[in-house]
């Protein structure tokens, strides 16, 4: 992952994978996947609440974002911007943002004043009320309404 002076294209990237509010397990998974599919990392930029990976492939970065969401839950946003024109073709750079969730399956949380158990973190957050068994789902955009119960 280090820049080598003899590699003149080492700083080239097509996509940025932004990880925010994630556990070390997610970062380890990303680094293993980057190694497995042999993605070139132009650079990494650490932040207080995450890390950015500058990667060599739009499609592989999008696929990695999808795998992150399937495996860990969380919110994924994909944006692209026109970077330039190469051989009469528009070239886009993609940014994939993955924001983790502050709770895990089976955690007890507070939602709308009641206790719920996290059932699943897939397309949405699926929860079940502890007292009544009533099930509900919450979109990741609304996950700030769910608070982890303090012990």
pTM assigned to the model: 0.75
Give pLDDT, residue 95. Answer: 95
Mean pLDDT computed over 52-62:
92
What are the sequence ranges of the domains in the chain?
15-99, 108-148
What digits encode the pLDDT tens for the residues 111-148?
888 899 988 887 788 899 999 989 988 888 788 888 88
d(Cα 90, Cα 77) in Å, to the nearest integer? 22
108-148 has CATH 1.10.10 classification: no
Is the pLDDT reported for residue 1 higher than 70? no
d(Cα 99, Cα 20) in Å, to the nearest integer? 5
Give pLDDT, residue 9. Answer: 65
Fold classification of 15-99 is: Alpha-Beta Plaits (3.30.70)
What is the pLDDT confidence band of residue 151, given thresholds at 50, 70 and 90? low
The residue ranking higher by pLDDT, 30 or 140, is 30
Token pair in block for residue 94: 């993609």
Is the pLDDT reported for residue 30 higher than 60? yes
Is the pLDDT reported for residue 7 higher than 70? no
């Amino acid at each position: 992952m280090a820049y080598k002076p003899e590699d003149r294209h080492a700083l080239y990237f097509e996509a940025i994978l932004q990880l925010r509010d994630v556990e070390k397990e997610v970062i380890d998974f990303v680094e293993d996947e980057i190694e497995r599919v042999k993605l070139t990392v132009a650079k990494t930029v650490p932040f207080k609440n995450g890390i950015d990976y500058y990667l060599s492939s739009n499609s592989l970065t999008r696929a990695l974002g999808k795998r992150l969401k399937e495996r860990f839950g969380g919110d994924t946003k994909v944006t692209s911007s026109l970077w330039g024109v190469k051989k009469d073709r528009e070239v886009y750079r993609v940014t994939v943002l993955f924001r983790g969730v502050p709770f895990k399956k089976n955690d007890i949380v507070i939602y709308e004043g009641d206790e719920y158990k996290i059932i699943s973190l897939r397309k949405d957050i699926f929860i079940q009320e502890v007292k009544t068994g009533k099930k509900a789902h919450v979109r990741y955009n609304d996950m700030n309404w769910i608070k982890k119960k303090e012990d």
